[in-house]
Structure 1
Amino acid sequence: MNPIYLDHAAATPLLPEVLDAMLPLLREQYGNPSSLHRFGREARSTVTVSRDAIARFLGCSSKELIFTGGGTESDNLALFGTAVVPASKKNHIITTAVEHHAVLHTCSRLEKLGYTVTYLPVDTTGLISLDKLRSSIRPETLLISMMYGNNEVGAIQPIAEAGSLAREHGVLFHVDAVQALGMEPIDLSSVHVDLMSFSAHKIGGPRGVGALYCSSRTKLEPQLLGGSQERKKRAGTENPAGIAGFAEAVKLAHDGLEDKRQRMEALRSRMIDGLVRELGADGFVVNGPEDPAQRLPHILNVSFPGCSTETLLMNLDLQGVAAASGSACTSGSLELSHVLVAMGLPPEVAGSAVRFSFGSTTNAEEIDRACQIVGTIVNRLRK
């Protein structure tokens, strides 16, 4: 029986069109984009054309896009690059308790370097309060860093309103849009955002390629030194084939966005209906916002009280279903998800949560089979 991949929030299969865009470059284009000869100019042209295309789809200037090695580097560059060490008079950062560890661990390091960090709490659905954000802003606040759509429960934060608050108080605003790209419409010309992080492998692009939008108004100190690449903001030889693949993936995501959103929402609803058939309406708990306008359509976080996340994932894997917990793995065992803990969920709910996430290769038949497998496993474990 074919395996069922329901972990698209972690990584997506490379789209055929993306592979087609990359293969000729991998075979034939080996020049360094910084070289002045013809081979280098060809590679540089690939990077430039790709940058222009991505910028056009995102609604920004190509000069405002910095290519990176992925979303984690983009997050790190946004925070470290704006927080000039040692801490100046503006030494306060605001983030949320449900961020990706790429942001949380960076904030922890900044605290050790003399910055103070406010971690905004969230409600039981994973959403922040704008009133708490407003009251957390101080004269010394330098930066607000917030995830667009949560990678574990899909909660969409009020980015537009938060950006307006940041602009009103003269505070920089960074948005981690790694999970939202390709699922939510993004137009940087219409929101008050100073920095935004992206990653290619979440939208059918290659691994190891990302980008950071940095507005022309924002001062950013490079964190990788050794070359003048990326307008001296990120040293290191660019990956032309990977960047071209990223551009193709962004184009495909942009052109088919609404159809994809509707299809993901239909798959999500189908899985919930299937779990009801297998376990009953009281046999599981859906975590995150109910309102489709407040969540990403491709993420479904479900708890199965009476079962442990680790046991569920192991059994699912043995039956050919790939899912995730979203929580950290330490010494071979899973910790409770910091996102679900921050949401205040009871231990029996937080400790039995599984994230299912859908993508372009997911179909209705796979959802139905997965629900049957989940139902069999859960019923067996509960007995």
Structure 2
Amino acid sequence: MLKPAKIYLDHNATTPVHEQVLEKMLPYFTQNFANPHSDHAFGWDASEALEQARKQVANLINARASEITFTSGATEAANLALFGFAKENRNKGQHIISCRTEHKAVLETLNALEKDGYEIGYVEVNCDGIVDLEQFQNLLRPDTSMVVMMLANNETGVIQDISEISKLAHQNGSLVMSDITQAVGKIEVDIKAMGIDIAIFSSHKIYGPKGAGAFYSSSKTDLARYMYGGNQENGMRPGTVNVPAVVGFGFASELASKQLQETSEGMLLLRNDFEEQLQSLEDVQINAKDQDRLPNTTSLSVHNVDGDALYRRMNRIAISRGSACTSNVIEASHVLTAMGIEESLALATYRISLGKSTTRQDLNLAFENIKTAINSIRKTSLV
């Protein structure tokens, strides 16, 4: 007897490499393998591929190719951008404003800057994860050199009004950095129109390979280098560039641009229907349901259950818990607790994120798995 198929619904964590992307990458492992910084014909060919990828990535966010620096991923990009900014602009003010619901890659880098003398102010969010703009304005000071605010949250999919945040920041003379990792490829991201000065994002969220990311920095933004050993990647990131991964990142960006509307509309329709099914279950809530969210993302909280036990019974679907596991200790998600969700409910909150390959049949099967698991847990608790 065949086992029921497992269904992957964790595309915010990572996506499979698109077949066409893989095809574009393969020659750069074996045939066009040269170092793009070698001064000969083989190197020139690799360099040309690198710069073509830079244009493709830049086009995805309406930037100039010269404003894109390739990295190994969004985490490294966050470090390069934040430390580079802090080192170059310390005399412009040592106060930075951010938000409690940022990704850990950003929050931990900000913690490091705090130990180095920077003062970090954090804006609160409401129960839907939306930044309190009034408090944000009150936090702005003459010495606020930077505002760090993500565009779309990785756990809830909530989209911030980054254009308004940028407007207020710029009126104060502050630069804006945004983590756009989850947004690119799912919604339109126009870096210029949004007023973002620095942005970080990654390849493996848009059906490109892992090991490639980038940060955008406006030509008006000054960043200092803090890594040494070579002048590759605008002098900001030394070392031989991972050409196959960057080529993949570039082509994935091109595909994401071309398919954005179709992909977004299709996932939104499926997600909304799926959420209607979920809300037919007792004591289930969709977090930030009425807010502007990524079209593929659902944050599902189940009341009156043991979150860990329920998660283990939803064993036919790949989803993420709204919590972080460190050294086998389950901790409530910092995003959810910042939204005012109590710890027990945060531990019974799950992120479901659809992808291009997700079908209605997948979601029907996922719903049955979730319903069966919830009913099973509740029956057990009554015994």
Q: Which amino acid aligns with 2:334?
A: H
Match of 2:352 in 1: 356
Does residue 275 (structure 1) correspond to residue 271 (structure 2)? The answer is: no
Match of 1:300 in 2: 298
Unpaired segments ≥5 residues, structure 1? none
TM-score, normalization by structure 1: 0.95
Q: Distance in 1 between matches of 2:276 and 2:173?
A: 47
Q: Which whole-Å deviations, capped at 9, do the CAs of 1:252-271 have from their partners, x for residues lacking one?
A: 11111111111111121222
Q: Distance in 2 between matches of 1:86 and 1:228?
A: 21
Shift of 1:38: 1.7
Moved more, 268-277 or 93-102: 268-277
Q: Distance in 2 between matches of 1:309 and 1:261?
A: 30
Shift of 1:223: 3.0
Match of 2:102 in 1: 99
DSSP-derived class of the 2:149 partner: strand
Match of 2:288 in 1: 288
Shift of 1:113: 0.8
Match of 1:374 in 2: 370
Q: Which amino acid aligns with 2:223?
A: L
Cα RMSD of the aligned pairs, angstroms, is 1.5
Match of 2:217 in 1: 214
Judge conservation of contact 1:268–1:297 (CA < 8 Å) in 2.
Answer: yes
DSSP-derived class of the 2:192 partner: helix
Q: Extract structure 1 runs of 4+ deviating beyond 6 A.
A: none
Q: Distance in 2 between matches of 1:263 and 1:271?
A: 13
- Distance of aligned partners of 1:267 and 1:32 in 2 relative to their CA distance in 1, 3 Å threshold: same
Q: Which whole-Å deviations, capped at 9, do the CAs of 1:315-372 have from their partners, x for residues lacking one?
A: 223xx21100142212213210101100001333212101110001111101000100
Q: Distance in 2 between matches of 1:312 and 1:222?
A: 47
Match of 2:325 in 1: 329
Does residue 147 (structure 1) correspond to residue 150 (structure 2)? The answer is: yes
Q: Distance in 2 between matches of 1:168 and 1:240?
A: 40
Shift of 1:241: 1.1
DSSP-derived class of the 1:201 partner: coil
Unpaired segments ≥5 residues, structure 2? none
Shift of 1:273: 2.5
TM-score, normalization by structure 2: 0.95
Q: Which whole-Å deviations, capped at 9, do the CAs of 1:222-279 have from their partners, x for residues lacking one?
A: 23211100121111111111111111111111111111111111121222232244x2
Q: Which whole-Å deviations, capped at 9, do the CAs of 1:44-103 have from their partners, x for residues lacking one?
A: 111011112222332111110000110111111221110118954610010001000011
Match of 1:8 in 2: 11
Q: Distance in 1 between matches of 2:19 and 2:63?
A: 27
Does residue 228 (structure 1) correspond to residue 226 (structure 2)? The answer is: no
- Distance of aligned partners of 1:308 and 1:78 in 2 relative to their CA distance in 1, 3 Å threshold: farther
Judge conservation of contact 1:270–1:364 (CA < 8 Å) in 2.
Answer: no
Match of 1:171 in 2: 174
Match of 2:311 in 1: 313
Q: Which amino acid aligns with 2:121?
A: T
Match of 1:200 in 2: 203
DSSP-derived class of the 2:26 partner: helix
Q: Which amino acid aligns with 1:331?
A: S
Q: Which amino acid aligns with 1:204?
A: Y
Q: Distance in 2 between matches of 1:117 and 1:314?
A: 38
Moved more, 326-335 or 222-231: 326-335
Judge conservation of contact 1:178–1:198 (CA < 8 Å) in 2.
Answer: yes
Moved more, 76-85 or 180-189: 76-85
Q: Distance in 1 between matches of 2:306 and 2:126?
A: 24
Match of 1:127 in 2: 130
Q: Which amino acid aligns with 1:300?
A: T
Q: Distance in 1 between matches of 2:204 and 2:367?
A: 26
Q: Distance in 2 between matches of 1:187 and 1:111?
A: 31
Moved more, 184-193 or 118-127: 184-193
